[in-house]
Amino acid sequence: MHGTIGTMHIMDTTGHSSITWDPEKPVEVGVARDAFEKLIKEGYSAFEVEGADQRGRRVTRFDPSVGKLMMVPQLVGG
Amino acid sequence: MPLYWANTGTWSSTSADTVYWVPVTTTAYDLWRSQGTTTSSATADAYYYMPQSQQGRAVLAAYSGLGQQQAFRPQSPAVMMDTAERERIEAMREQNAYQRALAQHDEQEAARVARRIAMRGAEAEERRRRVDQQYAERDAARQRANDLLLQHLTPEQRETFVANGWFVVEGGKTKTRYRIRAVESMVANVDVLDNDLFRTDKVLHRLCGHVPTHKVPLGDQLLAQKMMLEFAENDFLRIANRHGP
């Protein structure tokens, strides 16, 4: 949705960290994009999630118009 | 109970909830038995999670490997004490030294011991403060992760999770039903359920795939598994190891 503040939740040792951005503010978008790309390089998986029924999909590119992103660390077999 | 001081390793713990490790050598083939718990590798991490010993002390019987992983021979045992008891014993020694110095009219020695006692007290206080802070941070992280998980569960999933510690998700590709159970160890916590018409929830087998446990709290673990199964099921199935029902 145009103008909606985007949120990226990053799972980490603190429970999670969050980065927000206004799609109309290039600096904020840049910070979020850099964080996204860095985490993807580190092996994180990114998921776009929306709606009360938690619909979602995996994404590999940062889209500033997305409302919510979940960044999940790499899983290993146990 | 006599104290056995084996070897001269260098590991100790500053956490009040863990044991103070009387230094012994450890190798991948050493076997440690204490209160019925055995572990094949006595590392600092293994002992961090050991349960509190009774009365602050446990005898640790040590065995070293004979080259074959199933054969071990006894070595010098070690005694583990919790940090509080260790501090109590050391404080008692310092007090005795102080009293001896006073009795011998050795003011210089008495002053030296008194300074050591004060310094030790301050160090112990600082350790306790750090430990309290670590626990507070850990508890806060667990709560944040739990809250994030609950925000991303459907009402039905939230209900079973709160009541039973598990929730069911549907695989995005195969529509297989998976039950994700909240297990601290995260070992094989994903049950693959039979898709029979009567929803008997028979467990066909279990899957073990998770974020390395030191990286994120339990709530994040469960949410990560949910996301992967729902939106990247093939990747999860490729990564996870399969275990019997």
Per-residue model confidence (pLDDT) at position B27: 37
Per-residue model confidence (pLDDT) at position B81: 52
Q: With an 8 Å Cβ cutoff, are B239 and A76 in contact?
A: yes
Chain B residues in contact with A11 (beta carbon < 8 A): 145, 148, 211, 215-216, 220, 223-224
Per-residue model confidence (pLDDT) at position B84: 62
Contact B180, B207 (CB under 8 A): no
Nearest residue on chain A to B138, judged by CA atoms? A14
Per-residue model confidence (pLDDT) at position B157: 94
Report the range of poorest mean pLDDT among A44-48, B18-22, B149-153: B18-22
Contact B166, B160 (CB under 8 A): yes
Q: How far is B240 from chain A (nearest CA, A)?
A: 4
Report the range of poorest mean pLDDT among A41-45, B28-32, B191-195: B28-32
CA distances from B222 to A17, A77, B152, B200 (A): 17, 14, 11, 23
Contact B165, B180 (CB under 8 A): no
Per-residue model confidence (pLDDT) at position B83: 58
Averaged over B123-139, what is the pLDDT?
A: 84
Q: With an 8 Å Cβ cutoff, are A73 and B145 in contact?
A: no
| Residue whose structure tokens are 């019997």 | B244
pTM (two decimals): 0.68
Backbone angles phi, psi at B30, to 5 degrees: -75, 140
The confidence band for B135, taking pLDDT boundaries of 50, 70 and 90, is confident
Nearest residue on chain B to A74, judged by CA atoms? B211
Per-residue model confidence (pLDDT) at position B82: 54
Per-residue model confidence (pLDDT) at position B214: 76
Q: Tell me which of A51 and B180 has the higher pLDDT.
A: B180
Q: How far is B141 from chain A (nearest CA, A)?
A: 4
What percent of chain A has a predicted confidence (pLDDT) above 70?
95
Q: What is the pLDDT of residues B194-227, one digit of tens each?
A: 877 676 788 999 999 998 877 899 999 999 999 9
State the average pLDDT for chain B: 72
The confidence band for B22, taking pLDDT boundaries of 50, 70 and 90, is very low
Q: With an 8 Å Cβ cutoff, are B224 and A73 in contact?
A: yes
Per-residue model confidence (pLDDT) at position B48: 31
- Dist CA B221 CA B185 (whole Å): 11
Averaged over A17-40, what is the pLDDT?
A: 96
Instruction: State yes or no: pLDDT of A62 exceeds 80.
Output: yes
Supply the ipTM of this predicted assembly: 0.92
The confidence band for B127, taking pLDDT boundaries of 50, 70 and 90, is confident
Instruction: State yes or no: pLDDT of B11 exceeds 50.
Output: no
- Dist CA B233 CA B227 (whole Å): 9
Instruction: State yes or no: pLDDT of B52 exceeds 80.
Output: no
Q: Which residues of B121-154 are buried (b: 16+ CB within 10 A; e: fewer)?
A: eeebeebeeebeeeeeeeeebeebbbebbeebbe
Per-residue model confidence (pLDDT) at position B152: 93
Q: How many interchain CB pairs under 8 A, A with B?
A: 99
Per-residue model confidence (pLDDT) at position B73: 44
| Residue whose structure tokens are 């009402």 | B155
A56, two tokens: 């979602």
Q: How far is B241 from chain A (nearest CA, A)?
A: 5
> Which of the 8 DSSP states describes residue A60?
S
Q: Tell me which of B194 and B43 has the higher pLDDT.
A: B194
Instruction: State yes or no: pLDDT of B50 exceeds 60.
Output: no
DSSP chain B: ------S--------TTSEE-------TT-EEEETTEEES---HHHHHTSPPPGGGEEEEEEEEE-SSTT-EEE---EEEEEHHHHHHHHHHHHHHHHHHHHHTT-HHHHHHHHHHHHHHHHHHHHHHHHHHHHHHHHHHHHHHHHHHHHHTS-HHHHHHHHHHSEEEEE-TTT--EEEEE--TT-TT-EEEEP--TT----EEEEEEEES-TTTS-HHHHHHHHHHHHHH-HHHHHHHSEEE--
